[in-house]
Homo-oligomer: A and B are copies of this chain.
Amino acid sequence: MTKPFAIGIDIGGTNTVLGLADRRGQIQLQSTMPTKGFDTVDLYIAAMQAEINQLVEHAGGRENINGIGVGVPNGNYYTGEVMDAPNLPWRGRIPLAALMNKAFDFPVTLTNDANATAMGEMMYGAAMGMKDFIMITLGTGVGSGFVANGQIIYGHDGFAGELGHAIAVRGGRLCNCGRRGCMERYCSATGIVITANEFLENSKEDSLLRQYSHIGAREIQQAAEAGDKLAIEVFEYTGMILGETLANAVAITSPQVIIFFGGLAKAGDLILKPVKKHMEANLLHVFQDKIDLVPSALPDADAALLGASALAW
Protein backbone atom coordinates (compact mmCIF):
# COMPACT_ATOMS: atom_id res chain seq x y z
CA MET A 1 0.00 0.00 0.00
CA THR A 2 1.30 3.44 -0.82
CA LYS A 3 2.26 5.47 2.20
CA PRO A 4 0.97 9.04 2.68
CA PHE A 5 4.24 10.98 2.33
CA ALA A 6 7.36 11.21 0.19
CA ILE A 7 10.56 13.14 0.70
CA GLY A 8 11.69 15.37 -2.15
CA ILE A 9 15.24 16.72 -2.30
CA ASP A 10 16.31 19.44 -4.70
CA ILE A 11 20.10 19.72 -4.83
CA GLY A 12 21.35 23.02 -6.20
CA GLY A 13 24.86 24.38 -6.51
CA THR A 14 24.48 26.51 -3.38
CA ASN A 15 21.65 25.05 -1.33
CA THR A 16 19.86 21.76 -0.90
CA VAL A 17 16.14 21.99 -0.23
CA LEU A 18 14.32 19.08 1.41
CA GLY A 19 10.56 18.73 1.70
CA LEU A 20 7.93 16.36 3.01
CA ALA A 21 5.18 16.16 0.39
CA ASP A 22 1.83 14.42 0.39
CA ARG A 23 0.25 12.83 -2.67
CA ARG A 24 -1.68 15.96 -3.60
CA GLY A 25 1.56 17.90 -3.86
CA GLN A 26 1.22 19.79 -0.60
CA ILE A 27 4.55 20.39 1.07
CA GLN A 28 4.05 19.73 4.77
CA LEU A 29 7.49 20.71 5.98
CA GLN A 30 10.52 22.14 4.24
CA SER A 31 14.13 22.70 5.24
CA THR A 32 17.31 23.96 3.66
CA MET A 33 20.96 23.08 4.11
CA PRO A 34 24.09 24.20 2.23
CA THR A 35 25.35 22.01 -0.63
CA LYS A 36 28.83 23.48 -0.42
CA GLY A 37 31.28 23.43 2.47
CA PHE A 38 31.61 19.68 2.98
CA ASP A 39 34.96 18.07 2.25
CA THR A 40 33.39 14.90 0.86
CA VAL A 41 30.02 13.72 -0.37
CA ASP A 42 29.88 11.41 2.68
CA LEU A 43 30.09 14.39 5.03
CA TYR A 44 27.37 16.10 3.01
CA ILE A 45 25.10 13.06 3.38
CA ALA A 46 25.94 12.75 7.06
CA ALA A 47 24.86 16.37 7.55
CA MET A 48 21.65 15.62 5.69
CA GLN A 49 20.70 12.98 8.29
CA ALA A 50 19.44 15.64 10.72
CA GLU A 51 17.15 17.12 8.05
CA ILE A 52 15.80 13.69 7.12
CA ASN A 53 15.15 12.86 10.79
CA GLN A 54 13.14 16.04 11.17
CA LEU A 55 10.98 15.20 8.14
CA VAL A 56 10.47 11.61 9.33
CA GLU A 57 9.36 12.85 12.71
CA HIS A 58 6.89 15.28 11.13
CA ALA A 59 5.49 12.43 9.04
CA GLY A 60 4.80 10.47 12.21
CA GLY A 61 7.46 7.86 11.59
CA ARG A 62 9.36 6.03 8.86
CA GLU A 63 6.39 3.81 8.10
CA ASN A 64 4.51 6.80 6.64
CA ILE A 65 7.17 7.63 4.06
CA ASN A 66 7.14 5.98 0.65
CA GLY A 67 10.66 6.93 -0.34
CA ILE A 68 13.03 9.69 -1.35
CA GLY A 69 13.12 11.42 -4.74
CA VAL A 70 16.11 13.54 -5.70
CA GLY A 71 16.52 16.18 -8.39
CA VAL A 72 20.18 17.03 -9.00
CA PRO A 73 22.15 18.55 -11.90
CA ASN A 74 23.59 15.75 -14.12
CA GLY A 75 21.68 13.15 -12.12
CA ASN A 76 21.07 9.87 -13.93
CA TYR A 77 17.73 8.16 -13.43
CA TYR A 78 18.98 4.70 -14.41
CA THR A 79 22.24 4.56 -12.46
CA GLY A 80 21.39 6.87 -9.57
CA GLU A 81 24.72 8.56 -10.18
CA VAL A 82 25.74 12.18 -10.57
CA MET A 83 28.42 12.68 -13.16
CA ASP A 84 30.73 15.68 -13.44
CA ALA A 85 28.11 18.27 -12.56
CA PRO A 86 29.91 21.57 -13.22
CA ASN A 87 28.04 23.46 -10.49
CA LEU A 88 28.38 20.85 -7.74
CA PRO A 89 31.37 20.46 -5.42
CA TRP A 90 31.97 16.75 -6.27
CA ARG A 91 33.95 15.61 -9.29
CA GLY A 92 33.70 12.38 -11.24
CA ARG A 93 31.03 9.74 -10.87
CA ILE A 94 29.14 9.93 -7.55
CA PRO A 95 26.75 7.02 -6.72
CA LEU A 96 24.49 9.43 -4.85
CA ALA A 97 21.30 7.34 -4.79
CA ALA A 98 23.18 4.32 -3.44
CA LEU A 99 24.97 6.43 -0.79
CA MET A 100 21.70 8.00 0.32
CA ASN A 101 19.90 4.67 0.33
CA LYS A 102 22.62 3.23 2.55
CA ALA A 103 22.57 6.21 4.92
CA PHE A 104 18.80 6.72 5.24
CA ASP A 105 17.42 3.24 4.46
CA PHE A 106 14.69 4.51 2.11
CA PRO A 107 14.31 3.69 -1.58
CA VAL A 108 15.98 6.58 -3.43
CA THR A 109 15.04 7.63 -6.98
CA LEU A 110 17.12 10.30 -8.64
CA THR A 111 17.00 12.30 -11.84
CA ASN A 112 18.37 15.57 -13.13
CA ASP A 113 16.83 18.84 -11.98
CA ALA A 114 15.07 19.65 -15.26
CA ASN A 115 13.44 16.20 -15.38
CA ALA A 116 12.37 16.57 -11.76
CA THR A 117 10.78 19.92 -12.58
CA ALA A 118 9.02 18.35 -15.58
CA MET A 119 7.68 15.63 -13.29
CA GLY A 120 6.44 18.31 -10.88
CA GLU A 121 4.63 20.16 -13.67
CA MET A 122 3.09 16.92 -14.96
CA MET A 123 1.77 15.83 -11.56
CA TYR A 124 0.86 19.15 -9.99
CA GLY A 125 1.49 22.05 -12.39
CA ALA A 126 1.01 23.43 -15.90
CA ALA A 127 1.19 20.00 -17.55
CA MET A 128 -1.31 18.23 -15.34
CA GLY A 129 -2.85 15.39 -17.32
CA MET A 130 -0.69 16.05 -20.38
CA LYS A 131 1.26 13.29 -22.06
CA ASP A 132 3.51 15.29 -24.40
CA PHE A 133 5.29 18.45 -23.38
CA ILE A 134 8.68 20.10 -23.09
CA MET A 135 10.03 21.68 -19.93
CA ILE A 136 12.69 24.37 -20.29
CA THR A 137 14.55 25.76 -17.28
CA LEU A 138 16.31 29.03 -17.98
CA GLY A 139 18.86 29.46 -15.21
CA THR A 140 22.63 29.79 -15.09
CA GLY A 141 22.47 27.15 -17.82
CA VAL A 142 19.51 25.85 -19.80
CA GLY A 143 17.99 22.57 -18.67
CA SER A 144 15.28 20.63 -20.43
CA GLY A 145 12.96 17.74 -19.75
CA PHE A 146 11.03 16.01 -22.53
CA VAL A 147 7.85 14.06 -21.83
CA ALA A 148 6.33 11.80 -24.48
CA ASN A 149 3.51 9.32 -24.04
CA GLY A 150 3.26 10.46 -20.43
CA GLN A 151 6.83 9.45 -19.60
CA ILE A 152 10.06 11.39 -19.15
CA ILE A 153 12.45 10.64 -22.02
CA TYR A 154 15.55 9.43 -20.18
CA GLY A 155 17.21 7.93 -23.24
CA HIS A 156 18.99 4.59 -23.23
CA ASP A 157 21.69 5.88 -20.86
CA GLY A 158 19.64 8.23 -18.70
CA PHE A 159 21.23 11.38 -20.12
CA ALA A 160 18.53 12.51 -22.58
CA GLY A 161 17.01 15.99 -22.50
CA GLU A 162 20.06 18.17 -23.07
CA LEU A 163 18.45 20.73 -25.38
CA GLY A 164 20.65 23.41 -23.79
CA HIS A 165 23.53 21.69 -25.56
CA ALA A 166 21.87 21.46 -28.95
CA ILE A 167 24.07 23.49 -31.26
CA ALA A 168 22.07 26.57 -32.19
CA VAL A 169 24.75 28.64 -33.89
CA ARG A 170 27.36 26.74 -35.93
CA GLY A 171 30.80 27.93 -34.90
CA GLY A 172 29.20 30.21 -32.32
CA ARG A 173 30.14 31.09 -28.76
CA LEU A 174 32.45 28.76 -26.84
CA CYS A 175 30.44 26.80 -24.28
CA ASN A 176 31.58 25.42 -20.92
CA CYS A 177 31.19 21.96 -22.47
CA GLY A 178 34.08 22.73 -24.82
CA ARG A 179 31.99 22.94 -28.00
CA ARG A 180 30.77 25.98 -29.88
CA GLY A 181 27.29 27.44 -30.37
CA CYS A 182 25.31 25.56 -27.69
CA MET A 183 21.87 27.06 -27.17
CA GLU A 184 22.49 27.64 -23.45
CA ARG A 185 25.39 29.91 -24.31
CA TYR A 186 22.77 32.29 -25.71
CA CYS A 187 19.55 31.65 -23.81
CA SER A 188 20.61 31.21 -20.17
CA ALA A 189 21.01 34.05 -17.67
CA THR A 190 24.71 33.84 -18.50
CA GLY A 191 24.01 33.90 -22.24
CA ILE A 192 21.75 36.94 -22.22
CA VAL A 193 24.45 38.89 -20.34
CA ILE A 194 27.02 37.96 -23.02
CA THR A 195 24.56 39.13 -25.67
CA ALA A 196 23.94 42.42 -23.87
CA ASN A 197 27.66 43.10 -23.56
CA GLU A 198 28.17 42.27 -27.25
CA PHE A 199 25.32 44.55 -28.27
CA LEU A 200 26.67 47.38 -26.10
CA GLU A 201 30.12 46.98 -27.54
CA ASN A 202 29.02 46.79 -31.16
CA SER A 203 26.63 49.73 -31.10
CA LYS A 204 26.83 53.36 -30.13
CA GLU A 205 23.18 53.41 -29.18
CA ASP A 206 22.30 55.01 -25.86
CA SER A 207 21.05 52.50 -23.29
CA LEU A 208 20.15 52.36 -19.62
CA LEU A 209 22.54 49.42 -19.45
CA ARG A 210 25.54 51.69 -20.00
CA GLN A 211 25.24 52.99 -16.42
CA TYR A 212 26.32 49.62 -14.95
CA SER A 213 29.90 48.48 -14.63
CA HIS A 214 28.65 44.90 -14.32
CA ILE A 215 25.40 43.77 -15.95
CA GLY A 216 23.27 40.86 -14.77
CA ALA A 217 20.14 39.31 -16.28
CA ARG A 218 18.05 41.30 -13.81
CA GLU A 219 19.41 44.65 -15.02
CA ILE A 220 18.66 43.70 -18.64
CA GLN A 221 15.10 42.80 -17.70
CA GLN A 222 14.61 46.04 -15.75
CA ALA A 223 15.98 48.11 -18.63
CA ALA A 224 13.74 46.31 -21.14
CA GLU A 225 10.72 46.83 -18.90
CA ALA A 226 11.59 50.52 -18.80
CA GLY A 227 11.46 50.54 -22.61
CA ASP A 228 15.19 50.52 -23.28
CA LYS A 229 15.56 49.77 -26.99
CA LEU A 230 18.88 47.93 -26.79
CA ALA A 231 17.72 45.78 -23.87
CA ILE A 232 14.56 44.87 -25.79
CA GLU A 233 16.71 43.89 -28.78
CA VAL A 234 18.75 41.67 -26.46
CA PHE A 235 15.58 39.82 -25.45
CA GLU A 236 14.51 39.64 -29.11
CA TYR A 237 17.82 38.02 -30.07
CA THR A 238 17.69 35.60 -27.13
CA GLY A 239 14.14 34.66 -28.08
CA MET A 240 15.17 34.13 -31.68
CA ILE A 241 17.86 31.57 -30.78
CA LEU A 242 15.56 29.83 -28.31
CA GLY A 243 12.62 29.88 -30.73
CA GLU A 244 14.68 28.44 -33.58
CA THR A 245 16.03 25.67 -31.36
CA LEU A 246 12.59 24.85 -30.01
CA ALA A 247 11.12 24.68 -33.52
CA ASN A 248 13.55 21.86 -34.34
CA ALA A 249 12.74 20.10 -31.07
CA VAL A 250 9.01 20.36 -31.81
CA ALA A 251 9.58 18.56 -35.13
CA ILE A 252 10.84 15.60 -33.09
CA THR A 253 8.36 15.36 -30.19
CA SER A 254 5.37 17.55 -31.15
CA PRO A 255 4.48 18.75 -27.65
CA GLN A 256 1.16 20.17 -26.51
CA VAL A 257 2.81 22.89 -24.43
CA ILE A 258 6.27 24.17 -23.66
CA ILE A 259 6.70 25.20 -20.05
CA PHE A 260 9.31 27.74 -18.97
CA PHE A 261 10.86 27.83 -15.54
CA GLY A 262 13.73 29.70 -13.93
CA GLY A 263 14.99 33.24 -13.54
CA LEU A 264 14.84 34.32 -17.16
CA ALA A 265 11.33 32.86 -17.56
CA LYS A 266 10.17 35.45 -15.02
CA ALA A 267 10.70 38.11 -17.66
CA GLY A 268 7.36 36.84 -19.03
CA ASP A 269 6.30 38.25 -22.38
CA LEU A 270 9.65 40.00 -22.77
CA ILE A 271 11.14 36.60 -23.48
CA LEU A 272 8.10 34.45 -24.37
CA LYS A 273 6.84 36.75 -27.14
CA PRO A 274 10.03 36.66 -29.22
CA VAL A 275 10.42 32.93 -28.52
CA LYS A 276 6.88 32.34 -29.80
CA LYS A 277 7.38 34.55 -32.85
CA HIS A 278 10.60 32.89 -33.96
CA MET A 279 9.45 29.40 -33.07
CA GLU A 280 6.30 29.77 -35.16
CA ALA A 281 8.26 31.26 -38.07
CA ASN A 282 10.46 28.16 -38.09
CA LEU A 283 7.80 25.49 -37.56
CA LEU A 284 6.65 23.05 -40.19
CA HIS A 285 3.07 23.96 -41.20
CA VAL A 286 1.47 21.04 -39.37
CA PHE A 287 2.84 22.25 -36.00
CA GLN A 288 1.98 25.93 -36.36
CA ASP A 289 -0.42 27.81 -34.07
CA LYS A 290 -1.11 24.94 -31.74
CA ILE A 291 1.63 24.90 -29.11
CA ASP A 292 1.15 26.97 -25.97
CA LEU A 293 4.18 28.59 -24.37
CA VAL A 294 3.46 28.93 -20.67
CA PRO A 295 5.34 29.84 -17.52
CA SER A 296 5.59 27.22 -14.78
CA ALA A 297 2.45 26.89 -12.65
CA LEU A 298 4.37 25.87 -9.56
CA PRO A 299 5.78 28.19 -6.92
CA ASP A 300 9.47 28.74 -7.54
CA ALA A 301 11.00 26.81 -4.75
CA ASP A 302 8.47 24.01 -5.00
CA ALA A 303 8.63 22.84 -8.63
CA ALA A 304 11.84 20.85 -8.39
CA LEU A 305 11.03 19.75 -4.87
CA LEU A 306 7.58 18.49 -5.82
CA GLY A 307 9.01 16.86 -8.91
CA ALA A 308 11.66 15.15 -6.86
CA SER A 309 9.05 13.94 -4.38
CA ALA A 310 6.90 12.72 -7.29
CA LEU A 311 9.73 10.37 -8.25
CA ALA A 312 9.28 8.61 -4.94
CA TRP A 313 5.69 7.54 -5.60
Contact = CB atoms under 8 A, between A and B. Distances in A.
Interface of A: 83, 130-133, 144, 146, 148-149, 151, 153-163, 165-167, 170, 177-179, 244, 247-249, 251-256, 282, 284-287, 290
Contacts of A247: 167
Contacts of A160: 132, 148, 251-254
A162 B146 CA distance: 16
Contact of A170 (B161, B244, B249, B251): B244
A285 B155 contact: no
Number of copies of chain A assembled together: 2
A248 B169 CA distance: 12
4 nearest A-B pairs in the assembled complex, by CB-CB distance: A155-B254, A160-B254, A156-B256, A132-B156
Given A83-B286, A179-B284, A255 B156 contact: yes
A51 to B, nearest CB: 30
Contact of A149 (B133, B149, B167, B249): B149
Contact of A167 (B244, B287, B290): B244
A162 B132 contact: no
Contact of A253 (B146, B158, B290): B146
Contact of A285 (B132, B153, B178, B249): B178
A2 to B, nearest CB: 22
